Structure 1
Amino acid sequence: MNKLEFLRRKRHDTLFNDDGLINIENTDIPDRFIKYLIDIFTTLIDIEWRWNLLIFFSGFVLTWLVFAVYFFLLCYLHGDLNETVKSDWTPCAENVQSFSAAVLFSIETMSTIGYGYRYVTESCPGAYIGVLVQSVIGAALQFALAGLVVAKIRRAKKRSITVIFSQYACVTKEDLNLRLVIRVGDIRKSDVIGAHARGFLIRKAFSKRGEPIPVQYFSVDFQSEGGGNILFLPWPTYIIHVINDQSPLYMFSKDDIEHENFELVVILEGVASTLGKTFQARKSYHPYEIKWGHRLSPLDVTTDSQERHIVDYEYFNDTFPVDTPECSAQELEGKGEGSSRSSSPKPSSNRRRSSCFEQLSIFRHRRSITDTGLGADFEDDDDENDDDDGVHSEPSVASEK
């Protein structure tokens, strides 16, 4: 088993799973159950449907049985169950001569299906008081169940499923900077209002004293293709992280990325226009899912007879290699380790660094990394400079397609 396959099988040990859900279980929390009961409404919304149905089914059944016992004892104490009662005797509830009949009478009262064969009389105040109390409790349970169902359905939790991320994140050089590029798309036609992305680089580390730090995280800023924060999701777009001196990846080279143990968590937030609710779509990338020196393949865009743009997602996760320096952004700028920020993470091992300047002469500078036809598509910054250098790049895989 190679290293890549081993890492893929060990993915269940990471902080986030394939769906972006947190893979963390908290234990030994004092008064955990009481804290959940205090915020019972949030607890009922967060738990799964089967537990909601079990709780309400148990609530209804328990209420029926409690009031059935109440009515049965009331009739027993009143003497309605005595077979030698007089013909002019008025019972508390007509035709309630057994516990089974009391259960049926309780169900009829709580479900408000109407009385026919069994009904209460005015001879026992406790009987009609019990009917009033049970009716109120039954209405409250029904309203609570209806409200919970509406609240769970209106949640935008499942809205994130239709927001998809590219399987791989690519590191390439653009506008004299290394950039981390991820493609996102929304397969629904309904808009996502105010969509923006952010991320965290999470890894295990050690303090200066040598003590292990279970989770050390650094903020990763993402921007759209145009440089702003708001994303245009009706069209597949890129979210871009510029690897500069403010980036947690500033000191990482290609070799460091391949050998480090970390997770890059990307979070896309927005408001679902159909529900008016905020939702999050999350994706976790591991080192073997970050391709250094690759670009995401262009998507085929056509126009049908109704003048609609047809975007083909067949190559959504495909990448192709491009010339990219293999050194870190810090080395690319010609800065030493002493010039880096102390808050930036450093690679765990000191491996031999490849020379950036040996690779710069064969790198083609691009004006845009967009591939959707909304901007420039892989054009050279200066053809004359390329001719002077005597460098003639071969056509990319995407153009051959």
Structure 2
Amino acid sequence: MSVIKKKGKKLKTDTNTGFGANASNYGGRFINKDGSANIKKTGIGFIESISWYHTMLNIPSWKFMAIIFVFYGIVNFIFATIYCLIGVEHLNGIIANSFTDKFGQAFFFSAQTFTTVGYGHISPTGFWASFVASVEALFGLLSFAIATGLFYGRFSKPKAHIRFSENAVIAPFQDGKALMIRISPYKNTNLTDAEAKVTLGMRVKEKGTEVNRFFSLDLEYDKINALTLSWTLVHPITEDSPLYGFSKDDFKNNKGEIIIYLKAFDEMYSNTVAIRSSYTFEEVVYGVKFVQMYENSKDNSRTVLHVNKLNAFSEIVFEEVLTEE
């Protein structure tokens, strides 16, 4: 930890964030909204720079399925072309007059061989046709083994089904004001022992040079036993806070980012899940408060959580506590 001064007060900075201090070497934000690092790596080959396993586990479902179908189509197209080059007369059972019909039947024979279905009405004859069919069958077995592993990995991968509010807010709190961020689970999961950590990154001038400085923001509650409803992370802006004295214009005129790290225990996976996100100062709304997200049901038998109200807030009347100290 190092110490800097702000308005005559000494503030401890966090030096264990993993981010560099040289502000001129940083572009944009530190952490993207989806929690990924805002980093582009160069100086290494494209193939070498990508973990294909991690990529296939993390891409959206529609992209994953699209890759599977495109791969399946391309492989069968290639093998159908090879069968046509060898000669479809070496595939017993094909009855076709035009090249299109011949290629189509070769394509579907390839699909049957690749998937090891083998209906039997078409069979290879001759060395080369039989050799290609045997290679395709082996390639199909290996491909489906990989695809099955990826499907299982995506299905069983522990994931924190938690959403963050789109904005952080500055709202009245007790006799002053506080920075507030709201989170909520959105799946039918049971999360316990949730723990949050909030770090503020700001560009400050030291000896005429802009540098990055990071501060741990103390929370009213940084741990809760169960995350079943919404949880509002509250950082009281006291004299010990690096945000003390910040007005609405200060958030507009300064560059800063609020980074949230959250972890919880998922009973279904029997494992700890983690998620992170961030808010730039431009995404901090000053002088509002979050709207209640949950209420009792009409028959008073259950609590209804309105996930669509996660980022809902209402304007408040500015009071003395919301002006710059």
TM-score, normalising length from structure 1?
0.55
Q: Is the 8 A contact 1:264 1:285 kept in 2?
A: yes
- Where structure 2 has 5 or more consecutive residues not aligned to the other structure, the ranges are 1-26
SS in 1 for 2:48: helix
2:243 matches 1:249: yes
- CA distance in structure 1 between the aligned counterparts of 2:203 and 2:115, rounded to whole angstroms: 57
For 1:131, give the aligned amino acid: A
Letter of the structure 2 residue corresponding to residue 147 of structure 1: G
Q: Which digits, 9 at most, give the CA deviation of each residue in 1:3-46, with x for residues without a partner?
A: xxxxxxxxxx963899555694627x123412245x21112233
Q: Does 1:33 align with 2:29?
A: no
Which position in structure 2 is the counterpart of 1:144? Answer: 146
CA deviation profile, 1:159-183 (whole Å, cap 9, x unmatched): 233x547752325455xx8753444
What aligned pairs does 1:187-198 form with structure 2 within 5 A after superposition? 188=187, 190-198=189-197
Counterpart of 2:71, as a letter, is G
Instruction: State how far apart, in whole Å, the 1-side matches of 2:31 and 2:313 are.
Output: 18
Q: Deviations along 1:65-99, whole A, 9 cap, x unmatched?
A: 443344445558xxxx5xxxxxxxxxx54245876
Could you tell me which residue of structure 2 aligns to residue 379 of structure 1? Answer: none
Distance in 2 between residues matched to 1:154 and 1:50, nearest whole Å: 18
CA contact (8 A) 2:172 2:322 kept: no
Aligned amino acid, residue 33 of structure 1: F
Q: Distance in 2 between matches of 1:40 and 1:62?
A: 19
Q: Hey, what does 2:79 align to over in structure 1? A: 67
From 208, 226, 238, give the equivalent of 2:232: 238
Is the CA contact (8 Å cut-off) linking 1:297 and 1:320 kept in structure 2? no
Report the secondary structure of 1:31's partner residue: coil
How far, CA to CA, are the matches of 2:312 and 2:286 in structure 1? 15
Deviation at 1:125, TM superposition (A): 4.7
Task: Give the superposition deviation at 1:190.
Answer: 3.0
Tell me the residue number matched to 1:180: 179
1:282 to 1:271, Cα distance in 2 relative to 1, 3 A? farther
Matches within 5 A, 1:205-244: 205-208=204-207, 210=209, 212-213=210-211, 216-223=212-219, 225=220, 227=221, 229-230=223-224, 232-243=226-237
Tell me what 1:47 maps to.
59
Equivalent residue, structure 1, for 2:121: 117
Of 108, 118, 124 in structure 1, the residue corresponding to residue 112 of structure 2 is 108
What CA deviation, in whole Å up to 9, does each residue of 1:214-273 have, x standing for no partner? xx24133343x5x45336432444323244676433565677456433232334333444
| In 1: Cα distance, 2:282 partner to 2:80 partner | 63
Report the Cα offset of residue 148 of structure 1.
2.7
- Residues 16 and 273 (structure 1), Cα distance of their counterparts in 2 relative to 1, 3 Å cut: farther
Larger Cα-atom Rg = 1
| Change beyond 3 A, Cα 1:132–1:304 | same
Q: Give, in whole Å, the separation in 2 of the partners of 1:253 and 1:69.
A: 69
Number of residue pairs the alignment of both structures matches: 289
Distance 1:181 1:136, change over 3 A: same
| Cα displacement (A) at 1:138 | 1.2
Against the structure 1 CA distance between its residues 22 and 43, is the aligned structure 2 distance closer, same or farther, given a 3 Å change threshold?
Answer: closer
Q: CA deviation at 1:142?
A: 2.5
Secondary structure of the corresponding residue to residue 227 of structure 2? coil
Shift of 1:204: 3.3
> How far off its partner does 1:285 sit?
5.3
User: Once superposed, what is the RMSD of the aligned Cα atoms?
Assistant: 4.4
Q: Aligned-pair distance for 1:134?
A: 1.3
Q: Deviations over 1:286-343 (max 9, x none)?
A: 2673536x7667778557545444578699623645653856xxxxxxxxxxxxxxxx
User: Which amino acid in the other structure matches residue 219 of structure 1?
Assistant: F
TM-score, normalised by the number of residues in structure 2: 0.65
Unaligned runs of 5+ in 1: 1-12, 82-91, 328-353, 355-401
Q: How does 1:2-401 map to 2 (within 5 A)?
A: 15=29, 20=34, 24=38, 26=40, 29-37=42-50, 39-74=51-86, 93-95=91-93, 100=103, 101-121=105-125, 124-155=126-157, 159-161=161-163, 164=165, 168-170=169-171, 172=173, 179-186=178-185, 188=187, 190-208=189-207, 210=209, 212-213=210-211, 216-223=212-219, 225=220, 227=221, 229-230=223-224, 232-243=226-237, 247-250=241-244, 252=246, 256-257=250-251, 259-275=253-269, 278-280=273-275, 282-284=277-279, 286=281, 289-291=284-286, 302=296, 305-309=299-303, 317-318=313-314, 320=316, 323-324=320-321, 326=323
